[in-house]
Amino acid sequence: MIKVSIINDRIGRVIDFCERIEQVLDIPHELRLIPIDAPFLNLDHCGYPVIASFCATSSRPNELSEAPYMLVCTDYDDFEEIKDSIAHELVHYEQWRDGKSFTERGVAVRSRNILKLMEDYGN
Ligand SMILES: [Zn+2]
């Protein structure tokens, strides 16, 4: 019998958090979550490290041949920051899902709402 050990406990916490997102969010697509065992992606956003990133390989939600995916770094020190980043990227997923163009407008408010809803569900 093979027993899998999760070396980085944060990976488990991130996966656990992501699995419960559908309690508060309508995700009618296969949205792949790819955990990255690193503190942040090798990207820079206005001087801040990028912890998560939503990537859509097709411009329209109906083209399901290639599923959208989200990269999530699991080795960042602050788990609250990881959750903030996931919620932020989920708002970009919603924009994509709803056929809207990507914008940062309203993202902070909506991502706070997502986190609040998650808290209300005991996450
Ligand atoms: Zn953004």
Rounded to the nearest angstrom, the distance between the alpha carbon of 97 and the centre of ligand 1 is 15
pLDDT category at 13 given cuts 50, 70, 90 is confident
Residue 47 tokens read as 């001087």
- Residue 27: alpha-carbon gap to chain centroid: 12
Distance 88 CA to ligand 1 centre (A): 6
| 44-102 pLDDT tens trace | 666 778 899 999 876 555 555 567 889 998 888 888 999 999 999 999 999 999 989 99
Give the distance (Å) from ligand 1 centre to CA of residue 92: 7
Is the distance from CB of 52 to CB of 89 less than 8 angstroms?
Answer: yes
Determine the distance from the C-alpha atom of residue 32 to the mean position of all C-alpha atoms in its chain, rounded to a whole number: 9
115 close to 84: Cβ distance less than 8 angstroms? yes
For 17-46, how does the pLDDT look when each residue is reduced to its tens digit (9 = 90+)?
888 898 899 998 888 888 888 888 876 666
pLDDT computed for residue 15 by the predictor: 82
94 CA to centre of ligand 1 in angstroms: 12
Please give the distance, rounded to the nearest whole angstrom, from the Cα atom of residue 2 to the centre of ligand 1.
40
